[in-house]
Amino acid sequence: MKLFKLNSFNKVILSTVILFFIIELMGQTVYFFVKKKSFYSYHLDKNKTFTFTDFRSGQKFKPNINAHMPGYPDNLSTNQYGFISNNNTQHDLKNLTKKNIFFVGGSTVEGRGASSNKNTIPANLERCLQKIDEDFQVINAGFSGDTAFQEFLRLSTSIVPDYKTYAVISLSGRNDAHNSYILNDTWRENDNLYFKRMNYKINNLKEDCILCAINQKLLRISLLYYSFNYFIERYVQNYQNYSKLDGETKIKNNFLMSDKNISLAAKNFIENLVLTNFFLANKGIEYFSFIQPALDENLKHLTEFEKSKKKIFEMKVNNLYWAQIFDFYKEALKHSKNKNFIYDISDIFKEYNETLYYDSVHYNDRGNEIIAKKICSIFKRKYNF
């Protein structure tokens, strides 16, 4: 009887498949012990119940779900309206006697870095304001990655038209600076990574696509395939315009933002705050826009922990990143002069020597508390409480 023999090519294929399954099994095992749940169950839940796309205002949370915050202290639950809950009191946005204050911004407002729903910035602010009037409701309308223009879209399409609004608070700046830096020469006014990703997905959407169905299945069950796809989407598709540059030009230009771009981006950021203020003022709604703290030596005495987080982020991106983010802030402040609804609290952490950041972007519970306390004091002064 003749034994079946593998040729060299088949041996390579078989070895590759076996190696893939070994790595996959190891990855799945580690994931289960670290996350306390299987990779499949997390992604199945995430894809079905986590968020949805509103083409008027972007990604939104679904109501009454546990919003998964990968890599952060805790997941954050949403209320019946699809906003991150404060877990102070149950909100009733249809009660006309309540004073609804909508708090917009990116992931720092959303609550990444907070240890629970009760320790986000909006939750802290609500407790502060309810000492004055129990009818104050601070609604956390933050969403990861939001820029000033997206805040305007949310407010003008799915917040103000739907709910009685007493006031609006915004905490922003860093995401606008980040987008103009990362997008480099592809940056345009009112553009960001989210719009580019959605544009790509919409234009590459195919109906009755067998490969698409297989792709979706693999994304849910294979950690390796998911990781590879994540890398391609995040690092290749976003920067595909650089593929035409020669190697030396790539090294020179990659992630570097010109002085001209900094000024234009900062001006565009302030213009969007002005646009939001104009929209709200015409409806008799008070607007408070706060320029947020960022992890920079010019804005805070950094602890050893914060320095390490900053260094890790610089290794991933570029060591000029924070210097150019700070330049963006300086330019934005120039354009914000005589705008009495804009408050610069970017250096609010200067007087603190303790660790106030959870990572290179998001604040810890103590940082959230300090920001909320400052906003509360300005709000009370404005209304003479």
Query: What's the pLDDT band for 339 if we cut at 50, 70, 90?
Result: very high
Query: What's the pLDDT band for 240 if we cut at 50, 70, 90?
Result: very low
Average pLDDT of the residues of the chain: 86
Average pLDDT score over residue span 256-261:
68
Can you give the pLDDT at residue 3? 53
Burial class (CB in 10 A: 0-12, 13-18, 19+), 8: exposed
For 87-101, 261-275, 316-330, 357-371, which range has the lowest pLDDT when averaged over its residues? 316-330
- CA 140, CA 138: separation in Å to the nearest integer? 6
Q: What is the pTM of this model?
A: 0.82
Residue 42 has pLDDT above 70, yes or no: no
Can you give the pLDDT at residue 215? 78
Can you give the pLDDT at residue 257? 60
pLDDT digits (tens, 9 = 90+) for 293-310: 999 999 999 999 999 999
- CA 288, CA 129: separation in Å to the nearest integer? 15
CATH topology of domain 47-185+259-382: Rossmann fold (3.40.50)
Query: What's the pLDDT band for 43 if we cut at 50, 70, 90?
Result: low
Can you give the pLDDT at residue 233? 64
Highest mean pLDDT among 16-20, 24-28, 285-289: 285-289
Can you give the pLDDT at residue 216? 74
Enumerate the β-bridge partners of residue 285. none
Tell me how many degrees the CA angle 348-265-363 measures, rounded to the nearest 5. Answer: 30
Task: Give residue limits of the domains in the chain.
Answer: 47-185+259-382
Annotate 102-114 with DSSP letters as a single string: EEEESHHHHTTT-
pLDDT digits (tens, 9 = 90+) for 175-206: 999 988 888 778 889 988 778 777 777 776 66
